Amino acid sequence: MRNAEIADAFAELADLYELDGAIVHRVLAYRNAATAIRSSGRSVAELAQAGRAEELPGVGKTIAEKIVDLLDTGEVPAAKRLKEKFPAGLVEITRLPGFGPKRARKLYDELGIASLDELRRAAETHVLRAVPGFGRKAEENVLAALEAADNGQGGRRALLPEALGIGEEIVAALREVPGSDRVEIAGSARRRAETCKDVDIVASAADPAALVDALSSLRVIAEVGTSGEAGARALTHSGMTVELRIVSPSSFGNLLQHLTGSGRHNELVRTEAVRRGLHVSEYGVSDDAAGTTHACATEEEIYALVGMSYIEPELREGRGELEAARGGTLPQLVRVEELRGDLHCHTVASDGRNTIEQMAAAALARGYEYLAITDHSATHGFGNHVSPDELRRQIERVREVDAQVEGLTLLAGSEVNVLPDGSLDYDDALLAELDWIVASLHTSFRMGERELTARMIHAMEHPLVDLIGHPTGRLIERREPYALAFERIVEAAVRTGTLLEINANPDRRDLNEHNARLAAESGAMLLIDSDAHGVNTLANIRYGVDTARRAWLTREHVANTRSWPELDALRKRSRAQASATTRPC
């Protein structure tokens, strides 16, 4: 059973306990456990079966036992009992905006409402307002929320580039407004999460009204809802909510920290503060003993007050960053400027939009020292495969351009398909002519875990495969990862010296932050690539760096922070040669 499935089961159990009236802290304990399970890079099923689930933060004896029950029987016994007690539609009602377990439960007890349809009817016929605590407005809100849900609105999460694009445009415009002081993106976009529900912007300004005016006149903004001195809430034409909050410069740091989150991170910071007799809020850090409140212009001041070094936004997820910040062991996160080359991109030879020359020029303009041209291979369908003869000609063209271009090492590579049996779709003699080989899966995803894992490991054992491209095959919000035993893949990567890619395409970001962190901790070497299909998408590399940073990676973990000769020396074909030449006779 996958981590996501186990996490879903415990998140659902939390919902059910909440409906059942359990104390909030117990419910929270289940939610926290679900989050820890979801973000574990290791297989929680394997961990639990080995009796080691309690190693996960927030998982104690009880939940560890329940994980084993779930694995053994396919269901947590407590969840089974509660599902018999509460109809499935009740949980759906708790997810409606404005509804939680208390209000859903009240309608169930008073009116027997157990589904969204029944709720709609009760609102339409004004039966709802007979229940204490519900009135005219509640009925209107129910109907509006149900309509929004029917239209597929509500709950849509944008990929990071969409949210960042909106946020960066707004920030740039607001910084130009006379009297504006500081303007920053906050929220999940600042943490560089894979998806964002809305765009949060924090500002300080001498004239807040001018900022709100400027926001409402921006091209991206369709309408401004509520607005005032403290900020505004607006909607973009694409349907994203933008939240602008304005404070005095003296507490800019407090609001920025508060709105950057994550919720879990803030909760942990505040718990740590309470232990020191302090209370952290969006307005300042108050001191019980002194009876004073310290407003913080910068986030650094807040973290210093609670005894920690500054924590980069990408790490603020409640995954051990507080302990590291207390102990002074936070990683020096890899930066996009540290990448010296890109080793996965496409040209018109397969499905790219630009020529080798154009890609080389664009790589030079980015300041790269090297670029590998890795078009798709012989069996890549979609009418853009590269036959063995075409690959030979492509290698020649790469060599010619390499000779012409100053300051860039151009590598002749290929993104080779891993066939269902784990073999590659060019013969070894041709592969040996290439400087760089990415092996990826593009077909036959629906194999069982055992077969698919063996298939990928077989490819990794090929002496010429340098890198596994987009190793889990997931597409964010669209396609689940392949059924891989990821820890086996990491073991094989370490054993064979095969690099694992963080594919920076923002639809992929594959490896994800959890897998990348596990791989690095296990001693595997990672590499960040754009997988660009044109000159414009080389810049996508930033999203791969975002994932790497969220995975706690330093430049040491990322192979392409090295020069090409250094990287060349550490890959497995060089190591094999080295061990062959130093072997005693």
Partner DNA sequence: GCCGTTTTCGGCCCGACTGTTTTCAGTCG
Task: Tell me which stretch binds DNA (CB under 7 A): 163-171, 268-276, 371-379, 439-447.
Answer: 268-276
Cα–Cα dist 450/41, whole Å: 18
**Could you give the string, one character per residue 134-163, with x where binding to DNA holds by CB under 7 A and - elsewhere?**
xxxxx--x----------------------
Binding status of residue 206 toward DNA by CB under 7 A: no
Binding status of residue 98 toward DNA by CB under 7 A: yes
Task: Tell me which stretch binds DNA (CB under 7 A): 27-35, 42-50, 455-463, 534-542.
Answer: 27-35
Exactly one of 97, 179, 381, 523 binds DNA (CB under 7 A); that residue is 97
Other CB atoms closer than 10 Å to residue 152's CB: what's the count? 8
Is 230 or 578 the residue whose CB approaches DNA more closely?
Answer: 230
Is 48 or 371 the residue whose CB approaches DNA more closely?
Answer: 48
Question: From the CB of 275, what's the least distance to DNA, in Å?
Answer: 4
Exactly one of 80, 85, 237, 275 binds DNA (CB under 7 A); that residue is 275
Could you check whether the bond before residue 262 is cis, i.e. omega within 30 degrees of 0?
A: yes
Report residue 47: phi and psi, to 5°. Answer: -60, -45
Binding status of residue 237 toward DNA by CB under 7 A: no
Question: From the CB of 165, what's the least distance to DNA, in Å?
Answer: 20
Exactly one of 51, 60, 420, 523 binds DNA (CB under 7 A); that residue is 60
Binding status of residue 472 toward DNA by CB under 7 A: no
Binding status of residue 28 toward DNA by CB under 7 A: yes
Other CB atoms closer than 10 Å to residue 11's CB: what's the count? 17
Tokens representing residue 472 in the block: 């889990």
Binding status of residue 82 toward DNA by CB under 7 A: no
Binding status of residue 294 toward DNA by CB under 7 A: no
CA-wise closest residue to 470 among 369, 351, 374, 347:
374
Question: From the CB of 32, what's the least distance to DNA, in Å?
Answer: 7
| Concatenated DSSP letters of 479-506 | BPPPS--HHHHHHHHHHHT-EEEEE--T
Kindly provide the residue ranges of all beta strands, DSSP E only, lying in 213-297, ordered along the sequence. 221-228, 231-236, 241-247, 278-280, 285-287, 292-294
Binding status of residue 45 toward DNA by CB under 7 A: no
Exactly one of 6, 9, 29, 559 binds DNA (CB under 7 A); that residue is 29
Cα–Cα dist 76/149, whole Å: 30
Task: Tell me which stretch binds DNA (CB under 7 A): 126-134, 439-447, 455-463, 558-566.
Answer: 126-134
Is 226 or 582 the residue whose CB approaches DNA more closely?
Answer: 226
Cα–Cα dist 48/6, whole Å: 11
Question: From the CB of 83, what's the least distance to DNA, in Å?
Answer: 17
Do residues 499 and 571 make contact, with C-beta atoms less than 8 angstroms apart? Answer: yes
Contacts 24+ apart (CB under 8 A), 230-238: 231/203, 236/166, 238/158, 238/162, 238/166
Subset of residues 516 to 575 that bind DNA, contact rule: CB under 7 A: none
Binding status of residue 266 toward DNA by CB under 7 A: yes
Binding status of residue 101 toward DNA by CB under 7 A: yes
Binding status of residue 286 toward DNA by CB under 7 A: yes
Binding status of residue 111 toward DNA by CB under 7 A: no
Binding status of residue 102 toward DNA by CB under 7 A: yes
Exactly one of 6, 64, 220, 490 binds DNA (CB under 7 A); that residue is 64
Which DSSP letter does residue 333 get? B
Cα–Cα dist 501/505, whole Å: 11
Cα–Cα dist 458/349, whole Å: 27
25, 63, 276, 290 from 287: Cα distances, Å: 25, 36, 9, 5
Is 104 or 504 the residue whose CB approaches DNA more closely?
Answer: 104
Binding status of residue 274 toward DNA by CB under 7 A: yes
Is 306 or 362 the residue whose CB approaches DNA more closely?
Answer: 306
Q: Which residues does 395 contact at the CB level (< 8 Å), separation at least 6?
A: 412, 433, 434
**Could you give the string, one character per residue 347-376, with x where binding to DNA holds by CB under 7 A and - elsewhere?**
------------------------------
Tokens representing residue 531 in the block: 């997988």
Question: From the CB of 372, what's the least distance to DNA, in Å?
Answer: 42
Question: From the CB of 56, what's the least distance to DNA, in Å?
Answer: 8
Binding status of residue 99 toward DNA by CB under 7 A: yes
**Pairing assessment for the beta strands 231-236 and 198-205 based on DSSP bridges:** unpaired
Collapse the DSSP code of 212 into the 3-class scheme (helix H, G, I; strand E, B; otherwise coil) and give the result: helix
Q: How many residues contact DNA, by CB under 7 A?
A: 53
Do residues 44 and 68 make contact, with C-beta atoms less than 8 angstroms apart? Answer: no
Binding status of residue 20 toward DNA by CB under 7 A: no
User: Nearest 5 degrees, angle CA 128-CA 13-CA 7?
Assistant: 125
Please report, as ranges, the residues that interact with DNA according to CB under 7 A.
Answer: 23, 25-26, 28-30, 33, 54, 57-64, 94, 96-104, 129, 132-138, 141, 187, 200, 226, 230, 263, 266-267, 270-271, 273-275, 279-283, 286
